[in-house]
Chains A and B, each alone.
Chain A
Protein backbone atom coordinates (compact mmCIF):
# COMPACT_ATOMS: atom_id res chain seq x y z
CA UNK A 1 0.00 0.00 0.00
CA UNK A 2 1.39 3.45 -0.92
CA UNK A 3 1.26 6.01 1.83
CA UNK A 4 -1.54 8.59 1.40
CA UNK A 5 -0.12 12.11 1.13
CA UNK A 6 -2.63 14.88 0.33
CA UNK A 7 0.24 17.34 -0.17
CA UNK A 8 1.96 15.18 -2.79
CA UNK A 9 3.20 17.37 -5.68
CA UNK A 10 4.22 14.65 -8.11
CA UNK A 11 3.97 15.88 -11.70
CA UNK A 12 3.60 19.54 -10.72
CA UNK A 13 6.04 22.20 -11.82
CA UNK A 14 6.41 25.12 -9.41
CA UNK A 15 8.31 28.41 -9.70
CA UNK A 16 9.92 29.71 -6.49
CA UNK A 17 11.43 33.19 -6.20
CA UNK A 18 13.93 33.94 -3.44
CA UNK A 19 15.02 30.31 -3.55
CA UNK A 20 18.64 31.05 -2.61
CA UNK A 21 18.03 31.73 1.07
CA UNK A 22 15.81 31.48 4.13
CA UNK A 23 12.13 30.73 3.55
CA UNK A 24 12.53 30.33 -0.24
CA UNK A 25 15.30 27.80 0.21
CA UNK A 26 13.37 25.81 2.84
CA UNK A 27 10.34 25.83 0.53
CA UNK A 28 12.37 24.51 -2.41
CA UNK A 29 13.76 21.68 -0.30
CA UNK A 30 10.32 20.77 1.08
CA UNK A 31 8.60 20.88 -2.34
CA UNK A 32 11.36 18.69 -3.69
CA UNK A 33 10.65 16.13 -0.94
CA UNK A 34 7.00 16.31 -2.03
CA UNK A 35 8.27 15.40 -5.50
CA UNK A 36 7.58 18.68 -7.33
CA UNK A 37 9.62 19.77 -10.35
CA UNK A 38 11.13 23.14 -9.57
CA UNK A 39 12.08 26.36 -11.33
CA UNK A 40 14.19 28.24 -8.81
CA UNK A 41 14.79 31.98 -9.27
CA UNK A 42 16.98 34.38 -7.31
CA UNK A 43 19.56 37.10 -7.85
CA UNK A 44 22.09 35.12 -5.79
CA UNK A 45 23.61 32.43 -8.02
CA UNK A 46 25.79 30.84 -5.34
CA UNK A 47 22.83 30.43 -2.99
CA UNK A 48 20.71 28.99 -5.82
CA UNK A 49 23.35 26.36 -6.54
CA UNK A 50 23.44 25.42 -2.88
CA UNK A 51 19.63 25.06 -2.81
CA UNK A 52 19.66 23.01 -6.01
CA UNK A 53 22.19 20.61 -4.51
CA UNK A 54 19.48 19.73 -1.97
CA UNK A 55 16.72 19.34 -4.60
CA UNK A 56 16.40 17.22 -7.75
CA UNK A 57 19.38 17.31 -10.14
CA UNK A 58 17.27 18.34 -13.14
CA UNK A 59 15.51 21.25 -11.41
CA UNK A 60 15.93 24.53 -13.30
CA UNK A 61 17.80 27.41 -11.70
CA UNK A 62 17.67 30.94 -13.08
CA UNK A 63 19.78 33.81 -11.81
CA UNK A 64 17.68 36.89 -12.38
CA UNK A 65 17.00 40.30 -10.87
CA UNK A 66 13.25 40.14 -10.26
CA UNK A 67 12.90 43.88 -10.75
CA UNK A 68 13.60 43.32 -14.46
CA UNK A 69 10.22 42.20 -15.85
CA UNK A 70 11.45 41.30 -19.33
CA UNK A 71 14.39 39.30 -17.92
CA UNK A 72 11.90 37.40 -15.75
CA UNK A 73 9.73 36.59 -18.77
CA UNK A 74 12.76 35.49 -20.82
CA UNK A 75 13.97 33.14 -18.11
CA UNK A 76 10.47 31.69 -17.54
CA UNK A 77 10.13 31.06 -21.27
CA UNK A 78 13.40 29.14 -21.22
CA UNK A 79 12.47 27.26 -18.03
CA UNK A 80 9.06 26.21 -19.39
CA UNK A 81 10.63 24.97 -22.63
CA UNK A 82 12.85 22.70 -20.52
CA UNK A 83 10.70 21.78 -17.49
CA UNK A 84 7.22 22.01 -19.02
CA UNK A 85 4.23 24.20 -18.19
CA UNK A 86 3.78 25.51 -14.69
CA UNK A 87 1.23 24.58 -11.98
CA UNK A 88 1.98 27.51 -9.74
CA UNK A 89 4.46 29.85 -8.16
CA UNK A 90 5.47 31.19 -4.78
CA UNK A 91 6.86 34.73 -4.78
CA UNK A 92 9.06 34.60 -1.70
CA UNK A 93 11.94 36.97 -2.60
CA UNK A 94 11.85 40.14 -0.56
CA UNK A 95 13.88 42.76 1.24
CA UNK A 96 13.38 44.61 4.52
CA UNK A 97 13.34 48.37 4.98
CA UNK A 98 13.80 50.11 8.30
CA UNK A 99 13.37 53.89 8.13
CA UNK A 100 11.17 56.39 9.96
CA UNK A 101 9.03 58.49 7.62
CA UNK A 102 11.44 61.44 7.82
CA UNK A 103 14.27 59.27 6.43
CA UNK A 104 12.40 57.77 3.48
CA UNK A 105 12.79 58.76 -0.15
CA UNK A 106 10.61 58.12 -3.18
CA UNK A 107 13.50 56.18 -4.73
CA UNK A 108 13.67 53.81 -1.75
CA UNK A 109 9.88 53.40 -1.74
CA UNK A 110 10.02 52.41 -5.41
CA UNK A 111 12.89 49.98 -4.78
CA UNK A 112 10.95 48.17 -2.04
CA UNK A 113 7.82 47.90 -4.19
CA UNK A 114 9.87 46.73 -7.17
CA UNK A 115 11.20 43.73 -5.25
CA UNK A 116 8.53 42.88 -2.69
CA UNK A 117 5.35 43.67 -4.59
CA UNK A 118 5.48 44.25 -8.34
CA UNK A 119 6.96 40.85 -9.29
CA UNK A 120 3.78 39.30 -7.81
CA UNK A 121 1.83 41.12 -10.52
CA UNK A 122 3.97 40.20 -13.48
CA UNK A 123 4.58 36.62 -12.32
CA UNK A 124 0.78 36.26 -12.11
CA UNK A 125 0.37 37.89 -15.53
CA UNK A 126 2.97 35.70 -17.21
CA UNK A 127 2.15 32.41 -15.49
CA UNK A 128 -1.62 32.66 -15.93
CA UNK A 129 -1.06 32.81 -19.69
CA UNK A 130 -1.86 29.52 -21.46
CA UNK A 131 1.60 29.63 -23.06
CA UNK A 132 3.11 28.97 -19.62
CA UNK A 133 0.27 27.58 -17.46
CA UNK A 134 -0.40 23.85 -17.17
CA UNK A 135 -3.95 22.69 -17.98
CA UNK A 136 -4.47 21.07 -14.57
CA UNK A 137 -4.61 22.67 -11.14
CA UNK A 138 -2.82 25.96 -10.68
CA UNK A 139 -2.02 27.84 -7.46
CA UNK A 140 -0.20 31.12 -6.78
CA UNK A 141 1.22 31.91 -3.32
CA UNK A 142 2.35 35.36 -2.23
CA UNK A 143 4.27 36.27 0.91
CA UNK A 144 3.08 39.12 3.10
CA UNK A 145 4.06 39.70 6.74
CA UNK A 146 2.53 40.18 10.18
CA UNK A 147 3.48 43.80 9.59
CA UNK A 148 0.74 44.09 7.01
CA UNK A 149 -1.70 43.21 9.81
CA UNK A 150 -0.33 45.30 12.66
CA UNK A 151 1.39 48.67 12.63
CA UNK A 152 5.08 49.03 13.35
CA UNK A 153 7.21 52.14 13.77
CA UNK A 154 9.96 52.91 11.21
CA UNK A 155 8.61 50.18 8.97
CA UNK A 156 6.21 52.04 6.70
CA UNK A 157 7.78 51.09 3.35
CA UNK A 158 7.95 47.39 4.15
CA UNK A 159 4.40 47.50 5.54
CA UNK A 160 3.17 49.23 2.39
CA UNK A 161 4.76 46.59 0.18
CA UNK A 162 3.35 43.70 2.23
CA UNK A 163 -0.16 45.16 2.69
CA UNK A 164 -0.33 45.57 -1.08
CA UNK A 165 0.42 41.85 -1.40
CA UNK A 166 -2.74 41.08 0.61
CA UNK A 167 -4.83 43.29 -1.69
CA UNK A 168 -3.32 41.67 -4.77
CA UNK A 169 -4.10 38.22 -3.32
CA UNK A 170 -7.80 38.97 -2.91
CA UNK A 171 -8.32 40.74 -6.23
CA UNK A 172 -6.47 38.13 -8.26
CA UNK A 173 -8.30 35.32 -6.43
CA UNK A 174 -11.57 36.73 -7.78
CA UNK A 175 -10.22 37.55 -11.23
CA UNK A 176 -8.67 34.09 -11.67
CA UNK A 177 -11.43 31.96 -10.10
CA UNK A 178 -13.11 31.32 -13.50
CA UNK A 179 -9.74 30.09 -14.77
CA UNK A 180 -9.48 27.78 -11.72
CA UNK A 181 -6.28 29.47 -10.61
CA UNK A 182 -6.15 29.87 -6.83
CA UNK A 183 -4.31 32.81 -5.23
CA UNK A 184 -3.42 32.80 -1.55
CA UNK A 185 -1.07 34.53 0.83
CA UNK A 186 1.05 33.62 3.83
CA UNK A 187 1.79 36.34 6.40
CA UNK A 188 4.73 35.11 8.49
CA UNK A 189 5.83 36.21 11.94
CA UNK A 190 9.55 36.48 12.71
CA UNK A 191 11.80 33.82 11.29
CA UNK A 192 15.55 33.83 11.80
CA UNK A 193 17.00 34.24 8.27
CA UNK A 194 19.47 36.48 6.46
CA UNK A 195 16.70 39.09 6.26
CA UNK A 196 16.89 39.64 10.03
CA UNK A 197 20.69 39.83 9.86
CA UNK A 198 20.41 42.61 7.25
CA UNK A 199 18.54 44.88 9.69
CA UNK A 200 20.05 43.80 13.03
CA UNK A 201 22.38 46.81 13.17
CA UNK A 202 19.39 49.15 13.53
CA UNK A 203 18.53 47.78 16.94
CA UNK A 204 19.97 47.43 20.42
CA UNK A 205 20.66 43.98 21.80
CA UNK A 206 17.37 43.85 23.78
CA UNK A 207 15.43 43.99 20.50
CA UNK A 208 15.77 40.22 19.88
CA UNK A 209 14.26 39.42 23.29
CA UNK A 210 11.43 41.88 22.69
CA UNK A 211 10.61 40.36 19.28
CA UNK A 212 10.67 36.84 20.70
CA UNK A 213 8.31 37.85 23.50
CA UNK A 214 5.78 39.07 20.91
CA UNK A 215 5.38 35.46 19.66
CA UNK A 216 3.39 33.28 22.10
CA UNK A 217 4.91 30.15 20.50
CA UNK A 218 8.41 31.68 20.21
CA UNK A 219 10.15 32.49 16.92
CA UNK A 220 9.45 30.37 13.86
CA UNK A 221 11.68 28.49 11.44
CA UNK A 222 11.76 28.73 7.62
CA UNK A 223 10.24 25.23 7.55
CA UNK A 224 7.15 26.46 9.46
CA UNK A 225 6.43 28.84 6.57
CA UNK A 226 7.43 26.33 3.88
CA UNK A 227 4.81 23.89 5.24
CA UNK A 228 1.99 26.39 4.74
CA UNK A 229 3.24 27.31 1.25
CA UNK A 230 3.35 23.61 0.29
CA UNK A 231 -0.22 23.16 1.53
CA UNK A 232 -1.42 26.13 -0.56
CA UNK A 233 0.38 24.86 -3.67
CA UNK A 234 -1.02 21.35 -3.28
CA UNK A 235 -4.50 20.06 -4.12
CA UNK A 236 -5.12 19.64 -0.37
CA UNK A 237 -6.12 23.32 -0.46
CA UNK A 238 -8.19 23.08 -3.66
CA UNK A 239 -11.15 24.96 -2.09
CA UNK A 240 -8.97 27.75 -0.68
CA UNK A 241 -8.53 31.01 -2.54
CA UNK A 242 -8.10 34.66 -1.54
CA UNK A 243 -7.03 33.53 1.92
CA UNK A 244 -4.43 35.17 4.13
CA UNK A 245 -2.75 32.62 6.42
CA UNK A 246 -1.16 34.14 9.53
CA UNK A 247 1.67 31.71 10.27
CA UNK A 248 3.13 33.63 13.15
CA UNK A 249 3.31 31.66 16.41
CA UNK A 250 0.29 33.61 17.69
CA UNK A 251 1.69 37.11 17.00
CA UNK A 252 -1.58 38.41 15.52
CA UNK A 253 -3.84 36.58 17.97
CA UNK A 254 -3.04 39.09 20.72
Chain B
Protein backbone atom coordinates (compact mmCIF):
# COMPACT_ATOMS: atom_id res chain seq x y z
CA UNK B 1 0.00 0.00 0.00
CA UNK B 2 2.84 2.38 0.95
CA UNK B 3 4.42 1.99 -2.51
CA UNK B 4 1.09 2.50 -4.26
CA UNK B 5 0.45 5.70 -2.26
CA UNK B 6 3.83 7.06 -3.32
CA UNK B 7 3.17 6.26 -6.97
CA UNK B 8 -0.27 7.89 -6.83
CA UNK B 9 1.16 11.00 -5.18
CA UNK B 10 3.70 11.16 -8.00
CA UNK B 11 1.01 10.91 -10.68
CA UNK B 12 -1.16 13.56 -8.97
CA UNK B 13 1.86 15.82 -8.36
CA UNK B 14 1.25 16.12 -4.62
CA UNK B 15 3.46 15.39 -1.60
CA UNK B 16 1.20 12.87 0.02
CA UNK B 17 -2.08 11.01 -0.51
CA UNK B 18 -4.07 9.20 2.19
CA UNK B 19 -5.92 5.94 1.56
CA UNK B 20 -9.37 7.55 1.93
CA UNK B 21 -8.71 10.68 -0.19
CA UNK B 22 -11.08 10.92 -3.16
CA UNK B 23 -9.18 11.07 -6.47
CA UNK B 24 -11.63 13.66 -7.75
CA UNK B 25 -10.74 16.07 -4.95
CA UNK B 26 -7.28 16.60 -6.45
CA UNK B 27 -6.69 19.47 -8.84
CA UNK B 28 -4.60 17.34 -11.20
CA UNK B 29 -7.10 14.46 -11.47
CA UNK B 30 -8.09 14.11 -15.13
CA UNK B 31 -8.37 11.53 -17.91
CA UNK B 32 -4.57 11.45 -18.24
CA UNK B 33 -4.29 10.50 -14.56
CA UNK B 34 -6.49 7.48 -15.31
CA UNK B 35 -4.20 6.48 -18.22
CA UNK B 36 -1.13 7.00 -16.01
CA UNK B 37 -2.56 4.74 -13.30
CA UNK B 38 -3.41 2.01 -15.84
CA UNK B 39 0.09 2.20 -17.35
CA UNK B 40 1.78 2.27 -13.92
CA UNK B 41 -0.23 -0.70 -12.56
CA UNK B 42 0.40 -2.67 -15.75
CA UNK B 43 4.17 -2.12 -15.63
CA UNK B 44 4.65 -2.46 -11.81
CA UNK B 45 2.10 -5.16 -10.94
CA UNK B 46 1.48 -6.81 -14.35
CA UNK B 47 -2.26 -6.29 -13.83
CA UNK B 48 -4.53 -4.89 -16.52
CA UNK B 49 -7.14 -2.43 -15.25
CA UNK B 50 -9.82 -0.74 -17.34
CA UNK B 51 -10.49 3.01 -17.30
CA UNK B 52 -13.94 2.38 -15.80
CA UNK B 53 -12.49 0.24 -13.00
CA UNK B 54 -9.95 2.93 -12.11
CA UNK B 55 -12.63 5.68 -12.09
CA UNK B 56 -14.97 3.54 -9.99
CA UNK B 57 -12.28 2.73 -7.44
CA UNK B 58 -12.55 6.39 -6.33
CA UNK B 59 -9.79 6.36 -3.66
CA UNK B 60 -6.29 4.96 -3.13
CA UNK B 61 -7.81 2.34 -0.81
CA UNK B 62 -10.33 1.40 -3.50
CA UNK B 63 -7.57 1.10 -6.07
CA UNK B 64 -5.45 -0.99 -3.70
CA UNK B 65 -8.34 -3.43 -3.23
CA UNK B 66 -9.02 -3.54 -6.95
CA UNK B 67 -5.39 -4.48 -7.63
CA UNK B 68 -5.46 -7.08 -4.82
CA UNK B 69 -8.65 -8.68 -6.17
CA UNK B 70 -7.36 -8.79 -9.74
CA UNK B 71 -3.88 -10.01 -8.77
Interface positions of A (Cβ within 8 A of B):
98-100, 102-105, 108, 153-154, 201-204
Known: A102-B36, A103-B11, A103-B36. A108 touches B50 (CB 8 A): no
Q: Which single member of A99, A203, A204 contacts B36 (CB below 8 Å)?
A: A99
List 5 interface pairs A-B (beta carbons < 8 Å), by A numbering: A98-B38, A102-B32, A103-B36, A103-B43, A201-B38
Given known contacts A99-B35, A100-B36, A102-B36, is B11 in contact with A204 (CB within 8 Å)? Answer: no
The A/B interface has a contact count, at CB < 8 Å, of 39
Whether B51 lies near A102 (C-beta < 8 A) is: no
Interface range, B side: 10 to 19
- Does more than half of chain B's interface fall in helix, strand or loop, or is it mixed? helix
B40 at the interface (CB under 8 A from A): yes
Query: Interface of B with A (CB < 8 Å)?
Result: 10-11, 32, 35-36, 38-40, 43, 48-52
Min CB gap A172→B, angstroms:
32
B32 pairs with A202, CB closer than 8 A: no
Asked whether B52 lies within 8 Å of A204 as measured between CB atoms, the reply is: yes
Residues of A within 8 A of B49 (CB): 201
Partner of A102 from B10, B38, B43, B48 at Cβ < 8 Å:
B10
Residue of A nearest to B13 (CB): A102
Closest partner residue, chain A, to B37 (CB atom): A103
